[in-house]
Amino acid sequence: MTHSPAGPEIRFESVGLTLGRTEILRDVSLRVLAGSVHALVGPNGGGKSSLVKTLLGQMPHRGRLSIAWPAQPGTIGYVPQALEFDRGLPMTVEDFMRATTQRRPAFLGRACGQMASIDAALERVGMSDKRLRRMGALSGGERQRVLLAQSLIPRPGLLVLDEPMAALDEAGIAVFEHLLADWRRDGVTVLWIEHDIDAVARLADRVSGLNRSLLFDGAPLEMLAPERLLALFSARPRITPAPVRLGVAA
């Protein structure tokens, strides 16, 4: 019997990020409830990817960040923003899946049972028949399905999705919606960056609006009212450049 992964609660407390002289995130406090589908929306460059990268340990940050797992720490799955592959790169879908889902070095061979999980994940996203295609020869939507497939191994308790629907066609969107329904049923926590406001209204439990700082956070029906969205997408981020630290001559 496979046990359902139960997801963690995530807390961002006064999280800030300054890169060079630009303040990317300011004083972001946000709670993502365990087992919820929580969407992050906001304009391009508003800091959504940066916020999730602080969570994944890929960006430095100020403030506090915590991931509280219900029992022992589980697996975090991540779907990055669309990846580009050179058409000539001799890497098939299967090679990519092996490389991204195996912890031990490839020269030690395949881990036992790995191919069975890869088969199941590719099946789930409808990519089994394209497993021997080169990554660079796939359409944007097909690549996006493979990115979703790699996030399923090992079974995640927390999923961080950066615009997973970006290149998906209608059939791909249906695949994504099925995955989301399964994650919800299994109590997986999903933190989901999305530009498609209708999809967020339909599928998320909660939504936060981010434009460098947090502009709103609540139930989609309430938060996605036209006037709130207008304020989020038309506001220039109220960002002040970080103070210049002048070197002091010795």
Ligand X SMILES: Nc1ncnc2c1ncn2[C@@H]1O[C@H](COP(=O)(O)OP(=O)(O)OP(=O)(O)O)[C@@H](O)[C@H]1O
Binding footprint of ligand X on the chain (CB under 6 A): 19-20, 24, 42, 44-50
Say how far apart CA 127 and CA 39 lie, in whole Å. 26
Query: Closest approach of Cβ 59 to ligand X, in Å?
Result: 8
Residues in the chain: 250
Sign of CA dihedral 174, 232, 24, 66: negative
In terms of CB distance, is 179 or 232 closer to ligand X? 232
- Closest by CA to 52, choosing from 74, 30, 35, 83, is 30
Query: Closest approach of Cβ 208 to ligand X, in Å?
Result: 12
Say how far apart CA 10 and CA 55 lie, in whole Å. 9
In terms of CB distance, is 84 or 129 closer to ligand X? 84
Query: Closest approach of Cβ 199 to ligand X, in Å?
Result: 15
In terms of CB distance, is 48 or 130 closer to ligand X? 48
In terms of CB distance, is 142 or 194 closer to ligand X? 194
- Closest by CA to 9, choosing from 31, 27, 29, 28, is 31
Within 8 A by CB and 6+ apart from 218, the residues are 206, 207
Query: Closest approach of Cβ 207 to ligand X, in Å?
Result: 14
